[in-house]
Amino acid sequence: MGVFTRLDERQIAAALADYGLTATAWAGVPEGSVNTWYRVEAAGRRYFLRLDERGDPAAVDAELRVLDALAGMSVPRVVPTRDGRRMTSLAGKPCLLFEALHGVSHPARELTGAQLAAIGRTVAAMHATPVPEGLAPHRFHPRRVYESLWLPVRERVVAEHPDAAAALDAAFARGWAAYAFEGLPQAIVHGDLFADNVLFEGDAVTGVIDFEAAGVGARLFDLAVAVHALCFDVAARTFEVARARALMGGYRAGAALTAGEVAAWPEALRYAGQRFLVTRLRDFEMRPGAREAGTWKDYREYLDHLRALDAAAALLREP
């Protein structure tokens, strides 16, 4: 979530009019790095209004297909307008309205072993859902990360952040194809399993949100992202292996990993770290207005992640 497009009261009112709603309260949601979000109250209920900053209706349509496929799980429901549309336009950008889900998110460092295991089971259930025919790859497919996200900013990163540039040049020395994992089991992947995208009541997961990055891909990528996002001690600069075991134990209770996935785990973990380093540089260091839009995220954290990979690389080989 984030606020990259500032909306005034008139614009909020015009957007909600399509749904036959009148806002009684609204506020921007600053956390995030991609799209603009507003929390809205109307008719005694809570909603989230989202402007898609990518300006790509096809990408939004792919996200809607994912949400339709996962409708039996606790995922956001898109509210249709009075005339049945699920995607509208506001400030020249695709716009969606979501019903708010029940539950609260917790900072990653506060997640218990039971909650991490519950996330693992939830991801396993998501991966067991049949993939819609023709679904596009998730947003962080390595070809896109390398060609569309990294290469356009590489020269500037070399000049301004040479430590990060050296790490990414070394990681991508073999190109992007080594990280596509096309021979491994594919599934609907969320692609962005941070703690603020998972809602809880007690130890039970009540919702998974923010599917902007979702698409088809190697299910191992989702697990690697989750270990980076949920099981890294920023202060100690290392992975918390016991927490990662809880997460992976929950996943493996619902889905068996193949021998190929176990063998590819260290590379998947490395690629997930590269992905975060690229997007931190692009979405925060290089993006005009990013500091004003929401919570600042420091790319240097993911240099620490990449240096600490050995702590979690053997995780799937443990009994």
Burial of 59 per CB tally in 10 Å (0-12, 13-18, 19+): middle
- In the chain, what are the domain boundaries? 9-99, 108-317
Report how far residue 96's alpha carbon sits from residue 74's, in angstroms, rounded to the nearest whole number. 18
pLDDT score recorded for residue 294: 56
Long-range pairs for 291-297 at CB < 8 Å and ≥24 separation?
Answer: 293/2, 293/3, 293/4, 293/30, 294/1, 294/2, 294/3, 294/29, 294/30, 294/31, 294/32, 294/33, 295/30, 295/31, 295/32, 297/33
Q: Which pair of structure tokens corresponds to residue 81?
A: 């307008």
Cβ neighbourhood burial of 84 (10 Å; 0-12, 13-18, 19+): exposed
pLDDT, residue 319, reads 47
Q: Domain 9-99 adopts which CATH fold? A: Phosphorylase Kinase; domain 1 (3.30.200)
What's the Rg (C-alpha) of the chain?
19
Taking a C-beta distance cutoff of 8 angstroms, is the pair 274, 145 a contact? yes
Burial environment of residue 170 by CB neighbours within 10 A (0 to 12, 13 to 18, 19 or more): exposed
Length of the chain: 319
Check: CB of residue 47 under 8 Å from CB of residue 98.
Answer: yes
| Contact criterion met (CB below 8 Å) for 124 and 254 | yes
Taking alpha carbons only, the member of 85, 29, 45, 37 closest to residue 61 is: 85
Distance CA 109, CA 156 (A): 33
Torsional class of 175: left (φ above 0), alpha (ψ -120 to 50), beta (otherwise) = left
Distance from C-alpha of 191 to C-alpha of 216, rounded to nearest angstrom: 10
Q: Is there a contact between 179 and 217 (Cβ–Cβ < 8 Å)?
A: no
Q: Per the CATH hierarchy, to which homologous superfamily does domain 108-317 belong?
A: Aminoglycoside phosphotransferase (APH), C-terminal lobe (3.90.1200.10)
pLDDT the model gives residue 58: 87
Tens of pLDDT along the chain (319 residues)? 467 888 999 999 999 999 999 999 999 887 656 788 999 999 999 999 999 987 788 889 999 999 999 999 999 999 999 999 999 998 889 999 999 999 999 999 999 999 999 999 999 999 999 999 999 999 999 999 999 999 999 999 999 999 999 999 999 998 899 999 999 999 999 999 999 999 999 999 999 999 999 999 999 999 999 999 999 999 999 999 999 999 999 999 999 999 999 999 999 999 999 999 999 998 887 776 656 655 667 888 999 999 999 989 988 875 4
Is the CA virtual torsion 169, 174, 175, 179 positive or negative?
Answer: negative
Cα separation, 281 vs 297, whole angstroms: 9
Q: What is the pLDDT of residue 296?
A: 62
Q: Pick from 110, 105, 104, 85: which is nearest to 95 by CA?
A: 85
